[in-house]
Structure 1
Amino acid sequence: MGRGTARVFAGGGGGDAARKVDDLSVQNTSPPPSRRKRAAPPPHASHGEERTDVYSPEKRSAVMRRVKGKDTTPELAVRRILRKAGIGYRLGGAGLPGKPDVVMKGRRVALFVHGCFWHGHDCARGARQPKANADYWIAKIGRNRDRDARNAAALTEQGWRVVTVWECGMKAPDFAANLIAEVRDQAAAD
């Protein structure tokens, strides 16, 4: 074989394959894909059994602390829709009640993007009750709802129009058109 040429041929049985490239012979000793052992699925409880947390309480706490509070996937999707529609905005209304996710200052429109579970929406996802530490989480989500209502009222009192986008609503096929229409309606209202 000359330089720059390659020839591939099947080797002997047992799944071995030999490759001849520029007079170098390399043996592939791994079994063919059909004979490879598959990794065992992760351990989990059987149907009906209560699952235990795989993390220690300290590790779980550290994991939960890292949950993003800004630039979430739903927020990025909303911003992408607004940008494509040519609607100008600013991020994070620092100094405004509740720090809205998106602010249209000249139009006095404040937009919040809420996750259904965390903000206690009345959809299927928002109605789910956590099993671990349920009393704490039910109270926490209730406080979140109260805080959201207070912030919306404070913004309205200051002359802002508030738009709340719920995570579950983003799955609707006409979500983008409805969001653009709602923002434009709020911006035009005076």
Structure 2
Amino acid sequence: MKEKKPMTRSQNMARVKSKNTKPEVFLRKLLWHKGFRYRLNYKELPGSPDLYIPKYRVAIFVNGCFWHMHENCRYSSIPKSNYEFWENKLEGNVERDKKNYAQLESMGIKVIVVWGCEIKRMMKDEVVAIERADNLVCEIIN
């Protein structure tokens, strides 16, 4: 029988999806059931927001805590191996995000960022999901 080799970090990171992730799909379904209609990965706008709700001019980004360096989050850390590479890459992501958010806001589009850890909590606890969904609806409408 052939032994299974452990994946290298590179192979593992290459398997990470950028679209249609579980947290993103969860949020999409939640908003759809609340009656919101949206565009997915709308390339006409800076940063291609994960969801764009044209009626309310709202761009929603579902950010992974690792890839976008969510502050004070247990899922956000820079890998110890090849530290400089990862530090530059992740900090570059954060800078690009800031630039995209500023561009969107200058166009009169409201930016909402929903973090992966928030959605994980929502997926585990229905009470948290309902509460956060209501807050999100208020953010979109106002």
Report the TM-score when normalising by structure 1: 0.63
1:1-190 aligned at under 5 Å gives the runs: 54-55=6-7, 60-170=9-119, 171=121, 173=128, 174-185=131-142
Compute the displacement of 1:169 (Å). Answer: 2.0
Show CA shifts across 1:38-78 (max 9, x none).
xxxxxxxxxxxxxxx9346xxx5344323211000110011
- Match of 1:61, SS? helix
- Match of 1:177, SS? helix
Q: Bigger radius of gyration, 1 or 2?
A: 1
Which ranges of 4 or more aligned residues in structure 1 deviate by more than 3 Å? Answer: 60-63
How many Å separate the matches in 1 of 2:117 and 2:10? 26
How many Å separate the matches in 2 of 1:82 and 1:133? 39
Superposition CA RMSD, Å: 2.2
How many Å separate the matches in 1 of 2:33 and 2:55? 19
How many Å separate the matches in 2 of 1:89 and 1:127? 29
Larger proportion of helix? 2
Compute the displacement of 1:135 (Å). Answer: 1.3
Task: Answer yes or no: is the 8 Å Cα contact 2:56–2:141 preserved in 1.
Answer: no
How many Å separate the matches in 2 of 1:138 and 1:63? 18
Q: Which residue is equivalent to 1:20?
A: none
Alignment gaps of 5+ in structure 1:
1-52, 186-190
Compute the displacement of 1:95 (Å). Answer: 1.9
Task: Answer yes or no: is the 8 Å Cα contact 1:117–1:125 preserved in 2.
Answer: no
Q: Which residue is equivalent to 2:125?
A: none
Letter in 2 for 1:76: V
How many Å separate the matches in 2 of 1:126 and 1:156? 28
Task: Answer yes or no: is the 8 Å Cα contact 1:112–1:165 preserved in 2.
Answer: yes
Compute the displacement of 1:181 (Å). Answer: 1.9
- Match of 2:55, SS? helix
Show CA shifts across 1:10-61 (max 9, x none).
xxxxxxxxxxxxxxxxxxxxxxxxxxxxxxxxxxxxxxxxxxx9346xxx53
Report the TM-score when normalising by structure 2: 0.83
Compute the displacement of 1:106 (Å). Answer: 2.7
Alignment gaps of 5+ in structure 2:
123-127
